[in-house]
Amino acid sequence: MTDSENSWSSSIINKQLHKRLENHESAKVTNLDSQPCIAVNMPSGKNLTFDGDAGDNFGGMNNGSNIILNGDAGRFVGNGMNNGEIIINGNCGEGVGHCLSGGTIVIQGSAENEAGPSMKGGDLIVSGNISGDIGTCMSGGNLIVCGDVLGDIGKIMTGGKIFIAGKFDESENLNISNISPSDWKSIQKTLQNHGVNPNGLNFRSISSNYKGTKTLKIKNKNHSIGDSLILVNAVLSRRPRTIGLDKVEMGLSIGKNKKEPLNLTIPLLWNGDNAPIYADWGINQKSPSNFDSANIAIINLSPTEISRRLDMQRSTDLAFVVELIKQSTAKRIPIMVKLNAGEVENDLEMISKSGADGAILMSQNMPLEASITATRKIKNNLIILATCDSLDPESITKIISLGASGMFLENNCSNKDLKEFGTKLADTVGSLGVGNLSDLGPEHLRTNDQNTAAITGVPLVGYESVLPMWRH
């Protein structure tokens, strides 16, 4: 790549890299100009060299390439890296080595805040200083700092080893000891192999007193007010559809603008027989290794022991993660964000701006129907799926009538279950006089409960009009 190509976008550069590496073992890019998400999801056994400065997510999700940057890098170098080597012959921003699970990252200069957050394995080496916290939520691997550390060390750390040669705050929450002969021998070899001189460095070994607990997903209770909602069957004003005689269109397409949209014959994502392949990246979890074969990517924000992703420290950082996945998949597959319903309108607005294709909404503390009702204003911009734990065609028809695009089944199901559900759902929808699932709306519902009417904007039984607060 020549000097005239310094203005190329990340997408073009990554596309050209993958194309070249199909038939070559190495590639070089000159005049890099701080583009984000460069050299992401690189294959095993390739050699890549970059001259210039890189933006955020450089070398993210590396699967085994040896990558050299002759310049500075932005935030989250090697984000979700699984294998290989990244050498930065300069400085880098915050979050280097986030979710590192294998391979080696070497920063020849200094790094900013949150180095090695959520590390699972591999080696992270910083030759200079770190101006912030290190090893937050670390569970494995080796974090080696040749200079000083100015922040906290090993917050909520459950495993792995930290070695620091410079100055740091000796907190009472840390176990600090002189380095063992075996560790020193290993560090010497690691540093020398990666161009770092260990002479004159006096490392100390650090571990955390934090005992931790097993990270468990919070069970989704899916609170419901569905029993107070009634489907309005068609009789005279609308002609009911008869399955076998009338067609009821049930399909749902996710990621229509993607190279490989996920086209579903029924409005359901499921687990089990012939289910789509999910590339699911949860909070502080190892990045998926199946992006190349996946049908859909999920940024899973379901709560765990750790309440947030460390590469999403600001609300705008969702776009940062979405772009990383887009570049990792060459914009091939749709991307969904799975989260508990909170400030639904604001959350969905952020998801829409991030470039994701939709959201999978869970409802931990509020009725699912209320959460879905709040999605109506933005439904045209996003695919909205609601979680469910069973295939109840009547309940699912109610949820879709309130505003959902479809459902996400948490439990496994068989081909037989899917076929039976598809038939029953078509029959239920057809009985309302609807020929296309997308035509369902609140007008196909009634309620016998005033509180439900107020929450959902569904008319009370016997009335055509909604309550006054919904008349706008």
pLDDT at position 472 is: 67
Angle at 255 between CA 425 and CA 375, to 5 degrees: 65
Look at residues 208, 236, 270 and tell me which one is the last residue of a structural domain: 208
pLDDT at position 383 is: 95
- Is the separation of the CB atoms in 141 and 286 below 8 Å? no
pLDDT at position 6 is: 45
Span 2-27, pLDDT tens digits: 333 445 899 999 999 989 999 999 99
Domain for residue 346, yes or no? yes
CA distance 345 to 212: 34
pLDDT at position 291 is: 92
172-176, 291-295, 446-450: lowest mean pLDDT where? 172-176
pLDDT at position 247 is: 86
Residue type at 443 in one-letter notation: E
447 and 368 inside one domain:
yes
Look at residues 208, 240, 264 and tell me which one is the last residue of a structural domain: 208
Q: Residue 50 maps to which CATH number?
A: 2.160.20.60
Domain for residue 372, yes or no? yes
Q: Please, which pLDDT band fits residue 202 given cuts at 50, 70 and 90? A: very high
pLDDT at position 74 is: 97
49-58, 213-222, 462-471: lowest mean pLDDT where? 213-222
Span 92-133, pLDDT tens digits: 999 999 999 999 999 999 999 999 999 999 999 999 999 999
455 and 346 inside one domain:
yes
pLDDT at position 5 is: 43
Domain for residue 310, yes or no? yes
Report the pLDDT averaged over residues 426-443: 91
Q: Please, which pLDDT band fits residue 365 given cuts at 50, 70 and 90? A: confident
195 and 232 inside one domain:
no
131 and 279 inside one domain:
no
184 and 120 inside one domain:
yes
> Which range in 72-86, 291-305, 337-351 is most confidently predicted, on average pLDDT?
72-86
Beta strands in 25-184 (DSSP E): 26-33, 47-53, 63-70, 83-88, 104-107, 123-126, 139-145, 159-164, 174-178
Q: Please, which pLDDT band fits residue 212 given cuts at 50, 70 and 90? A: low
pLDDT at position 222 is: 56
Domain for residue 27, yes or no? yes
Whether residue 244 has pLDDT greater than 50 = yes
Domain for residue 72, yes or no? yes
201 and 314 inside one domain:
no
Span 441-452, pLDDT tens digits: 999 999 999 999
282 and 168 inside one domain:
no
pLDDT at position 237 is: 73
Domain for residue 213, yes or no? no
pLDDT at position 319 is: 95
Q: Residue 263 maps to which CATH number?
A: 3.20.20.70
Look at residues 178, 208, 238 and tell me which one is the last residue of a structural domain: 208
Tokens coding 180: 């063992």
Query: How much of the chain exceeds pLDDT 70, in percent?
Result: 94
231 and 153 inside one domain:
no
Query: How much of the chain exceeds pLDDT 90, in percent?
Result: 70
CA-wise closest residue to 301 among 368, 396, 400, 387? 387
Range of the domain at 460: 226-470
CA distance 340 to 251: 25
- Is the separation of the CB atoms in 243 and 430 below 8 Å? yes
Number of C-alpha atoms within 13 angstroms, CB side, residue 278?
Answer: 16
Q: Please, which pLDDT band fits residue 386 given cuts at 50, 70 and 90? A: very high
CA distance 117 to 146: 18
**Phi and psi angles of residue 196, each rounded to the nearest 5 degrees, phi first:** -115, 125
192 and 272 inside one domain:
no
pLDDT at position 223 is: 62
Q: Please, which pLDDT band fits residue 368 given cuts at 50, 70 and 90? A: confident
Domain for residue 23, yes or no? yes
pLDDT at position 399 is: 94
Whether residue 68 has pLDDT greater than 90 = yes
Q: Please, which pLDDT band fits residue 375 given cuts at 50, 70 and 90? A: confident
Terminal Cα distance for the chain, rounded: 57
53 and 129 inside one domain:
yes
203 and 260 inside one domain:
no
230 and 197 inside one domain:
no
- Is the separation of the CB atoms in 119 and 135 below 8 Å? yes
Number of domains the chain contains = 2
Q: Please, which pLDDT band fits residue 219 given cuts at 50, 70 and 90? A: low
Domain for residue 217, yes or no? no
